[in-house]
Structure 1
């Protein structure tokens, strides 16, 4: 009997030894060797990305799992959802997004459209928090921090990045560039995406020091010249790509979106969609011309065959926008804030919302200095003239009084805190002397609300807090009685879409905030001239 148990023990030990030392596929070993996500050093309390979920929770013993995800809405991948458009599971489209958070959402929504047209299952890519420093490593946000992923899953076939790494065996074997770009534009982009996701699109030289390359990206001092020595350019035509590059269309061209079927024609399993963002000039629409040969129902029923022009595609884009709504936690916070600050005694939420986007360090620097164009010169000049906190305060107060609204909310970037503080003082002084019963609330109050309501939340870095505030403000502007929007702002554009097509708010009273402020500026000047004329 003892001999029998002895062999049982030996057999068990040998089996355990085998499983612990079984060789994993080469792609998975490589994936584990080089994978990382950029750490956020802005707060010692922030999540240490790259750790397993259980390790993260153990690091914060007083924080429960639900509290730890308080600034995120978990995607229920265990729940089976049958999408309206079941896409090819053997061919994937992996977006690599660009620019700020709102531009990333627009680029992602474009990616959904392209995935439908190409019949490729969509992979959820990394999103990024806002930064004004191009040399600073971008901190990564999960998709379900930006929109309701389960809602998107009702529309199209979607998989997580972790699942894509398995399906693709860690390799990207085609690049669909959204712009008409050459391979050289991918030198620094592909290794960065590799380290963020585990999907490798560029070949490295034999014996390359991956840790040294990772450190280069963590430092933020990344240039093509610094990265190029790490890449293997000894292949056919000196290419360092695993697969073929498919250049896109020239930005702003009048091409139809349906051309992607020919320019991105490929049997490659895993294709990177590089830097999608408004390449086709599409604007979501809920209607078609009266004499159109196809109905909205036909387009939605079979988009692969019935989307023949950008006009057709605009109908499907409106559906895509509806299926990428804000996450549940953002909608909940917006409702709580409105209930606390904007409801009248009769329980009605009636308020004017303003989006003042024009921070000199970011918006004006980018559009009016670094990327200055003749067609923007008038806009830039008007914005600079409107940078007057007194005129802004009076313009908003007068409009609210004219509409009989008791509350006003002003959304602005964090860098405008001092300007907004002065504007708020001017507003209060003006309504007090004018006898208006109007209360103003700014982003500062919303920040206090977010922090107070989430005191136990470990996600307290400035990146995350500002990201949540921006999303909540977008909902506040979408649901307001009147919206005063910023020109040339994708943030305002997205809020206006949600306002018109989802919140079903009439936009007849909405205005361009710069024009409204300039009317106040010119009116003040005219009043001074008249007053000076009377003195003489």
Structure 2
């Protein structure tokens, strides 16, 4: 019954609600005079130093010190304890719990997939999950402006909902409990001493022992001696990864769990029909529950709803994600991030193959995307609009999410849709202007994390569309599609969601 022992632990939820009255998400914010219980019931409005206006976003916060997650400076135990409490006096956490700390990597949405996999593994191993650090996308311009590539998990997921579902602790508590020392590693990819040293800087804990040659003794399984991803099924988790070591990191997860393949492609029409004859297993149902409890923060959903109400007038609309920017997805050129990995790991590999040539399907996707014109784009949307009209759903609005570098292309598409089809078209540029003008008193949103939070809000906008056209080989599109699948809004035509083009 280890599964039930791990689920629904009230530890973090109760303990963080009983913590000090310092508000959650600001690096510099004023003390709120109300009690934490009042705050947790109604949310509260944050006011930031240096601004006279209030940040008009209602939060339902957990008490997490922002410096635990967004301070990228390397600190040792003596001067690095930014959020230390006597954890034993809170909640019903076991006397000597075991922890699993996911070290996420790749892009933001790959990190989210990795987190969900990590929670699944933590449940199977009866370990408390450590709320991980998140990284911004390597192309995020605000990394250079603000000198920090890190972002708090409060901007990615609803932590209250997650920590009502599974037992979890903050990274600050984890550091304190473990005395800034990692004693176990579950490696899913090849981990060299150099790579582990870089991860040490990121989490401010010791991973590599004083004798570097002994670091493999911390490995809990035999994987990690090869460069390829180690994949496993749920039945392998306990025999492979079970250990008496208390403070364990789950290193660089992304689609290691084979069950996730089935759960993450349920949005495909053919697969949906297949599942009617071949129901989901317990493992896949658990994964879908994890997805349901790792949705976007409430304030992100609130902003997305306000945007839809104001500009789509709560009417039906088609959402499209165009991922294929030539400077990132198609080229995957090396971008140096001096704060985390002086030179990105894949850039140091002399055998690195161009992303578009790594497999036949991806090569075909890149080839099709390069040849896909604005007119092709328009035809695809008109085709879907006609399909919906035949079924009694009239669509007058379109939203197009895209990277910044593709906005000229999207502008051409938008002009053709407006002039030739009479559709009202909004895009990422419009949403960015909406955020900058309506939430300019929220420094964390406009000055610090605009590009990152913009992407999360866009995902919520696309999730709420009547129909969604996604990009193949995009984890952004993949996450939107799976979030639409588990949503309960029957007005969305999820069964006919499709890709922007076929390959």
Describe the shift of the 1:289–1:481 C-alpha distance in structure 2 as closer, same or farther (beyond 3 A).
closer
TM-score (norm 1): 0.67
Q: Name the CA shift for 1:425/1:59 in 2 (closer, same or farther; >3 Å).
A: closer
Task: State the partner residue of 2:461.
Answer: 476
* Alignment gaps of 5+ in structure 1: 1-48, 205-231, 297-310, 432-436, 519-536
Change (3 A) 1:159 1:495: same
Aligned to 1:349: 315
Cα-to-partner distance string for 1:222-259 (whole Å, 9 max, x where unaligned) = xxxxxxxxxx43xxxx2246834534488577742221
Match of residue 134 from structure 2:
127
In structure 2, the partner of 1:486 is 471
Q: Which residue is 1:421 aligned to? A: 411
Per the TM alignment, residue 398 of structure 1 is displaced from its structure 2 partner at its CA by 4.7
* Count of residue pairs brought into register by the alignment: 402
Q: Does 1:147 align with 2:157?
A: yes
Larger Rg: 1
Cα distance, 1:116–1:481 mapped onto 2, change above 3 Å: same
- Counterpart CA distance in 1 for 2:380 and 2:28 is 51
Q: Are positions 1:328 and 2:298 aligned together?
A: yes
| 2:79 counterpart residue number | none
- Deviation per CA, 1:445-468, whole angstroms, max 9, x where unpaired? 100111111111222567611111
Per the alignment, residue 313 of structure 1 pairs with 283
Q: Is this contact kept in 1: 2:26–2:444, CA < 8 A?
A: no
The C-alpha deviation readout for 1:180-213, integer Å capped at 9, x for no partner, is x3xxx24233333333333211135xxxxxxxxx
Instruction: From the superposition, tell whether residues 363 and 115 of structure 1 become closer, same or farther in structure 2 (CA, over 3 Å).
Output: same
Which deviates more, 126-135 or 154-163? Answer: 126-135
CA distance in structure 1 between the partners assigned to 2:140 and 2:174 by the alignment:
30
Aligned mates of 2:128, 2:451 — CA distance in 1: 32
Q: Is the 2:48–2:443 Cα contact (8 Å) retained in structure 1?
A: no
**Equivalent in the alignment of 1:430:** 420
Distance 1:144 1:385 in 2: 39
Pairwise CA distance, 1:478: 1.2
User: Measured at CA, do residues 197 and 493 of structure 1 come closer, stay the same or move farther in structure 2, by a change above 3 Å?
Assistant: same
Q: Which residue of 2 aligns with 1:163?
A: 173
- Partners of 1:443 and 1:328 in 2: CA distance: 20
Does the 8 Å contact 1:352/1:407 carry over to 2? yes
Q: Distance in 2 between matches of 1:503 and 1:469?
A: 24
Correspondence for 1:243: 218
Q: 1:142 to 1:374 in 2, by over 3 A?
A: closer
**Which of 362, 368, 371 does residue 385 from structure 1 map onto?**
371
Aligned counterpart, 1:202: 208
- With 479-488 and 187-196 compared, the bigger mean Cα shift is at 187-196
SS in 2 for 1:508: helix
2:193: which partner in 1? 187
Structure 1 residue 425: Cα displacement: 2.1
Is 1:396 the counterpart of 2:381 in the alignment? yes
Cα RMSD of the aligned pairs, angstroms, is 3.7
C-alpha contact (below 8 Å) 1:92/1:269 kept by paired residues: yes
Task: State the match for 2:438 in structure 1.
Answer: 453
Distance 1:189 1:50, change over 3 A: farther
Paired with 1:461 and 1:248, the residues of 2 have a C-alpha distance of 42
Q: Give the Cα–Cα distance (whole angstroms) in 2 for the partners of residues 408 and 271 of structure 1.
A: 46
Residue pair 1:393, 1:426 contacting (<8 A) in 2 also? yes
Distance of 2:463 and 2:220 partners within structure 1: 40
Q: Aligned partners of 1:331, 1:511: CA distance in 2, in Å?
A: 23
1:381-410: CA deviation from partner (whole Å, max 9, x where unpaired):
222221x12321343245335532010000
Q: Deviations over 1:38-87 (max 9, x none)?
A: xxxxxxxxxxx9977679x99934357x73x9598632579x9989xx78
Is the CA contact (8 Å cut-off) linking 1:144 and 1:327 kept in structure 2?
Answer: yes
> Structure 2 unaligned runs (5+)?
1-24, 32-45, 65-84, 267-271, 334-352, 389-393
Q: Within 1, Cα distance between the matches of 2:59 and 2:148?
A: 19
CA distance in 2, matches of 1:276, 1:445: 34
Q: Distance in 1 between matches of 2:328 and 2:471?
A: 14
User: What are the within-5 Å matches in structure 2 for residues 25-424 of structure 1?
Assistant: 60-62=49-51, 67=55, 74-76=61-63, 90-132=97-139, 139-179=149-189, 181=190, 185-204=191-210, 232-233=211-212, 238-240=213-215, 243-244=218-219, 246-248=221-223, 255-281=232-258, 282=260, 283-284=262-263, 311-343=281-313, 348-366=314-332, 369-370=354-355, 372-376=357-361, 377-386=363-372, 388-403=373-388, 404-424=394-414
Aligned mates of 1:122, 1:332 — CA distance in 2? 27
* Residues 76 and 402 of structure 1: CA distance in aligned 2, closer, same or farther (over 3 Å): same
- Tell me the residue number matched to 2:71: none
Relative to structure 1, is the Cα distance of residues 87 and 391 closer, same or farther in structure 2, using a 3 angstrom cutoff?
A: farther
SS at match of 1:484: strand
Deviation at 1:416, TM superposition (A): 1.2
Contact 1:129 1:463 (C-alpha < 8 Å) held by counterparts: no
| Contact 1:202–1:240 (CA under 8 A) maintained in structure 2 | yes
SS at structure 2 position matched to 1:246: coil
